[in-house]
Chain A
Amino acid sequence: MLVLRRRAGESILIGDDIEIEFLELTPQGAKIGITAPRQTIVLRKELKITEEQNARAARGPAGQDLPQVFQQLSNNKLKFPPSPR
């Protein structure tokens, strides 16, 4: 990984057409501006991880496998009360 130190107001360039400008740096976080071609997808990494994880979660067990999966989840040892609302 390339590590660079930049101050507020400074930029880095990636390739010919992507610029990342460091607008504001505070202990709470960095505010950055990204200039990139329209077709370049810019995504917060945790959003991408969540999308992938949701896609996996959506696959879920088939109906007939549900009891087995539940057994795996609870290790068949513990019983839980339904959570009250």
Chain B
Amino acid sequence: MPQLQTKYFGTMAYDEESAFDFPSGLPGFKQEKAFVFIETPEYAPLVFLQSLSQPALCFLALPVLSVNPDYRLAVSAEDRASLGLDPERDPEPGDGILALALVSLHANLPPTANLMAPIVVSVRQRRALQAIRVDRVYSHQYPVSTPQQCEGVC
């Protein structure tokens, strides 16, 4: 099994098939096409998006529903097609779809999650992208001091 250097968890063995493919990378990180998602009981519900190519690059992410239990996804037709999702309607977290908000830290303010541009993951296709919303419904710096309990699949 190949080894992976991680930012937070030392060297880990990982299964190549467990990596998620980001065909377009992330805005500002176009070259980052593959991430492994690390979850640990200690830090649940955090998900660590560890870059396969850069050990020092690891995003902290939270399931959008743990940040805001009423969150509704809005994914553009182009992004839905790229993930192989139903072209007619917005996906919902759960049912093979994972929606994660990247967490940012600030000097004197609580951490924030980017609910404007969640990472939307097709678990079946092992494919993901950052689905930038244009509707201004949710902030790109949504405060997360107390994530809500998340029932079932986030």
Contacts and interface: CB of A to CB of B under 8 A. Distances in A.
Interface residues of B, number: 48
A35 to B, nearest CB: 23
A46 B76 CA distance: 13
A69 interface: yes
B11 interface: no
Nearest to A70: B43
Interface residues on A, range: 20 to 34
B71 interface: no
A82 B41 contact: yes
Interface string A37-65: 00000001011011111111111110100
B105 A54 contact: no
Nearest to B154: A83
Contacts of A72: 110-111, 145
A75 interface: yes
A77 B146 contact: yes
Interface string B96-130: 00100011110000110010110000010000001
B8 A66 contact: yes
Q: Is the interface of B mostly helix, strand, loop or mixed?
A: loop
B27 A51 contact: yes
A49 B102 contact: no
A73 B59 contact: no
A71 to B, nearest CB: 10
Contacts of A78: 146-149
B26 interface: yes
Nearest to B110: A72
Interface of A: 44, 46-47, 49-61, 63, 66, 69-70, 72-75, 77-85
Interface of B: 7-8, 26-29, 39-41, 43-47, 57-60, 62-63, 66, 98, 102-105, 110-111, 114, 116-117, 123, 130, 132-134, 140-141, 144-150, 152-154
